[in-house]
Amino acid sequence: MQRLTLRAGAAEDDLMLVFETENDDPPALEADFPLSCVLLLEDGTPVNLIGRNYVTEVVASYPYRVTAGRFFQVNTGVAETLLRLVSEWLAPDETMTVLDAYCGVGLFTLPLAERAGYVVAVEADPWAVEDLLVNTADQENVEVIEGPVEAVLSDLDVTFDGVVVDPPRAGLDVVVVEALAGMRPDRIVYVSCDPATLARDLKRLTDKGYRLVQVQPVDMFPQTYHIESVSLLTWAGHEA
């Protein structure tokens, strides 16, 4: 056994036990109470052992299906703060086309789609994309694109008024920075889980003509050194 994770959804009885082992042989299990059990293979594929392979999370009244092994903010109460900051700072309206990059299962996609005219959501993880398609099924103004952000943006011929990026700890690939600078959206909201890569990427973006307006730390993991940050950049209209 490499790892054992217990995930609780929004409902009291929405529990999922996720096993990660060194081999892909599913264990024989029996459950004495309502519980889903999933074996997560090395390639990220979830294998149902008991029940279903996902839970339903709720953040600020938005429901999200989250399959085993897919990333989702564990502190859903504080995640509401992220949603509020992203929505307020990007300030989307029905005239705007918005990019949600590294969107996962659609944490920001759903609230953005309620206000923006059109949302393009980009995610590389195929299992997260399946959840994303379920979560946005009722949103006719959302286009879902599966693939690495750096590859998708290089081929995307769309003008964006606003962009949300929520990359993994490694931050933005330089190809993504170049693509964003070429698109020149009026606003970029950057959600980061690593202050070091955030600082690096903010420097790269400001060198490309963006102005850093504000940064808000968010205590996603109390009593730890981990911190989330939300940053707002606006196009300053000059070349470095």
Q: Considering its fold, how many domains does the chain have in total? A: 2
pLDDT tens for residues 28-81? 777 777 788 888 888 888 888 888 889 999 999 999 999 999 999 989 999 999
CA distance 129 to 133: 6
Look up the pTM and report it.
0.91
Let me know whether 126 and 180 are in one domain: yes
pLDDT tens for residues 174-215? 999 999 999 999 999 999 999 999 999 999 999 999 999 999
Q: Are 231 and 189 in contact (CB under 8 A)?
A: yes
Let me know whether 217 and 133 are in one domain: yes
Let me know whether 138 and 43 are in one domain: no
Could you confirm whether 37 is annotated as catalytic? no
Strand ranges across the sheet with 15-20? 3-8, 15-20, 36-40, 46-50
| The two three-digit tokens of residue 214, written as one number | 């504000």
Residue 19 lies in domain: 3-52
User: Which residue out of 68, 105, 163, 193 is catalytically annotated?
Assistant: 193
Let me know whether 85 and 44 are in one domain: no
65 is a domain residue: no
Q: Are 171 and 197 in contact (CB under 8 A)?
A: yes
92 is a domain residue: yes
CA distance 187 to 197: 20
Closest CA to 237 of 154, 157, 181: 181
